Structure 1
Amino acid sequence: MNDHDWFGAAVRQPTSELRRRSGDLAAFAEIREVVRANGQERGVRSLQMRNAHGLEIEVLIDRAFDIGDVRYRGVPVSWRSGNGYRHPALHEVEAEDGLAWLRTLDGFLVSGGLDHALFGGEYDASHYHYPPKQTVRHGLHGRLSSLPARLLSVDEAWEENGGVLRVIGEVVQATSFGEHLRLRRTIEVDVHGSGFRIDDEVTNLGFERTPHMFLYHINIGWPVVDEGSEFCGAVEEHLWKSDSVDEQGAPFDRLIAPERHFVEQVWEHRLSASETGSHRVALIRRDGEFGVELEWDAAGMPHFFEWQNLREGQYGVGLEPSTHHVSGEAAAREDGSMIWLEHGDSRSYRTAVTLLDGPQATAAARSRVQSISGKEATA
């Protein structure tokens, strides 16, 4: 792969020149609406966004407007678990003692929320003022990922020098005498470039004070995830790590090869923020030929988890910005860090994803991360 290949240079000419060379600009970039038609994915609507430089992302309308497959110039980026993008009608949110969410875990982005994320449990629900509902029970990472979205708009906004592909959808998570939250999500892909942006706004449409937690489970697979691949981040310290870290000893910053019966390792890293108030991390192959860089607003999601699932057949890494510490909802309610939304309150989140193609791109990403002030991580 090469950032300056002949096609990339040719397609950057003005749009008026591209029109002279093709009867349809979809030859270069487009958004295609698709409905899956087989197996447990039958009926799942998606939007396939493809730009002029070989970036392809799949927005799963019926899976919370999350992101399924991501490819760059034919190279897979997203992690695939084997679950598939099953239709929400097949999902039982309350099953398996709250762990049924693991059956929806597949693809590049699986969102947790909107009123709960992290591990589940039973929590006080008196703020909803409905006597028969004294408590509410949540499973792992909440209900959001199994809710269908409503597609609001699809826009191929060509300009004379490029343009943007843009889709907007919304997901409403609601129940009578409970939460009534709306996620409005905008996903943009530039006609020219190797990245995309996710803009989210969560609003309380209800009239009761409602808790809000939000998490992005951004999942990356082979060939970005491979033996020797490097995690880059301005890590100040490790706030928490799973017991499996000490038992298995795989480091947080350099990946090991797939291992039989590997038990997931999770780290919560305290990251330094840049001068512009953003967090930035990257995952880069050992040979420096390819990688993924994330940048997001540190104020919106101040916490960050690194999920290492290095088991054979499940080999992948999750990069997870979060509104809350790993200790979860009970601790957040107790220590006052829970986010409560009154009627009409909104919170916004913005994340940028860049695919790093070639040694110059990965070196530049490493330099951007290292330029953020931070001290060496301590266990």
Structure 2
Amino acid sequence: MKRSDMLAHVGSMQQAAYVRPIEYQEGRTHGLKAVEVKNGPLRFMSMADKALDVALFEYRGENLTFLSKPGLNGRNQFDTNGQEALRSIMGGLFFTCGFENICGPYTTPEGSRYPAGDYPMHGRIRTTPAEHVSSDAYWDGDDYVLEVSGEMREAELFGENMVLRRRIRSVYGRPSITVEDEVANESFREEPLMWMYHCNFGWPLLAEGAQVVIPSRGATPRDETTAADTTPWNEIGAPEANKPESVYIHELAADADGGSFAGIVNRELGLGVVIDFNVADFPHFMEWKSMGSGDYVVGLEPSNSKVYGRGWHEERGNLHTLAAQSCERKTVTFTVLDGAEAIDALLARRDALLA
């Protein structure tokens, strides 16, 4: 709809779309600052106190993401305390992992060429509060743009000085959000830069009969537990009490420009979500499949590092690093698929990449 037509139909654009800073008031969320964004039937929450990561993500009132047992959390003592991170990891549409470490906790061994350090599960950036937070809603021609931005600093005296500058953008009438990130190394030494988006999907999108859609040329089990899981990696069954998690490392097909994707679709619900990214930015991709009752979630994880963590890369001499006074940029887009035709188009896109 053109700008003039839209304005003719509403008194305020907030009837249809808005960007609204909020603060939670109770329980573990007390004091948690966030930005609520409504784009027609799409609504999401960017957490200003947690790296501007997106927690809530819903469409036409249906939740599309996973929220772990602790629920929404403000900043707390579990945030960066080794394995205790499991008490603060909430899930949500995505949380940012890195930058000194991803996956399990890690302590630099004696004799390493890297500085000594203790690195918590999935790193520290996901719990870093944003500064210079800005939220805006404005017309750009006939596009009504909804935008959130800010920066997060992961730094230590005598240590790293990494700055994440993030912009999240959505356009009214389009059921998608685009995350544009830049990480700058503002220190004067080379720094490790492990970088993963942990994208988490839950009920009711994730339900028996749902399907994981990935243009995968091959899926390698992370461990013996995963190898013993006889359920195909792309099929979703009902929750099972105490069923262990499975993790797969995928080799993705991509188009001529490096574009690839991963998604979840539910034909019965008539909805899906697809994540678009470039394999040059994310040469590694993991699928976390947890079908355990109460921990019922599928994580889709574009990454520049493997799921085995920092120590694995250090041992092989291929830990990704960022030169002093330089930066890297990455972009991911999340799009809601509405209806059978959109779901069919995603499957056809997968098949075309694998042909």
TM-score (norm 1): 0.88
**CA deviation profile, 1:120-159 (whole Å, cap 9, x unmatched):** 221269778xxxxx51111211111111111432221224
Match of 1:100 in 2: 84
Establish whether residue 115 from structure 1 lines up as the match of residue 96 from structure 2.
no
Offset of 1:21 from its aligned partner? 3.1
Task: Please tell me the residue identity of whatever aligns with 2:10.
Answer: S
**CA deviation profile, 1:181-239 (whole Å, cap 9, x unmatched):** 01111101111111111111111111122111011110011121111211111111123
Conserved? CA contact 1:281–1:369, under 8 Å = no
Partner SS state of residue 363, structure 1: helix
CA distance in 1, matches of 2:66, 2:217: 27
User: Structure 1, unaligned stretches of length 5 or more?
Assistant: 1-11, 129-133, 375-379
Offset of 1:170 from its aligned partner? 0.8
**CA deviation profile, 1:155-179 (whole Å, cap 9, x unmatched):** 2122442322111111101010111
The percent identity for this pair of structures is: 28
Match of 2:301 in 1: 320
Conserved? CA contact 1:227–1:286, under 8 Å = no
Deviates more, 1:188-197 or 1:326-335: 326-335
Deviates more, 1:172-181 or 1:325-334: 325-334
Match of 1:4 in 2: none
Among residues 230, 233, 237, which one is paired with 2:218 in the alignment? 237
Task: Please tell me the residue identity of whatever aligns with 1:300.
Answer: D
| Distance change in 2, residues 1:242/1:256 (3 Å) | farther
Offset of 1:286 from its aligned partner? 4.2
Conserved? CA contact 2:209–2:237, under 8 Å = yes
Among residues 10, 14, 19, which one is paired with 2:7 in the alignment? 19
Match of 1:91 in 2: 78
Task: Please tell me the residue identity of whatever aligns with 1:167.
Answer: V
Partner SS state of residue 360, structure 1: helix
Match of 2:339 in 1: 358
Partner SS state of residue 154, structure 1: strand
Match of 1:73 in 2: 60
**CA deviation profile, 1:23-65 (whole Å, cap 9, x unmatched):** 311111110110001111111111111113x101100010111
CA distance in 2, matches of 1:187, 1:209: 28
Establish whether residue 58 from structure 1 lines up as the match of residue 45 from structure 2.
yes
Match of 2:327 in 1: 346
Task: Please tell me the residue identity of whatever aligns with 1:85.
Answer: L
Task: Please tell me the residue identity of whatever aligns with 1:20.
Answer: A
Match of 2:117 in 1: 136
Conserved? CA contact 2:21–2:135, under 8 Å = no
Establish whether residue 258 from structure 1 lines up as the match of residue 258 from structure 2.
no
CA distance in 1, matches of 2:343, 2:262: 12
Among residues 177, 187, 190, which one is paired with 2:158 in the alignment? 177
Task: Please tell me the residue identity of whatever aligns with 2:96.
Answer: S
**CA deviation profile, 1:327-347 (whole Å, cap 9, x unmatched):** 321222233321222221111
Partner SS state of residue 80, structure 1: coil
Match of 2:177 in 1: 196
Q: How many residues align?
A: 353
Offset of 1:250 from its aligned partner? 2.3
Conserved? CA contact 1:110–1:218, under 8 Å = yes
Offset of 1:290 from its aligned partner? 1.1
User: Structure 2, unaligned stretches of length 5 or more?
Assistant: none
Partner SS state of residue 324, structure 1: coil
CA distance in 2, matches of 1:75, 1:36: 21
Match of 1:282 in 2: 263
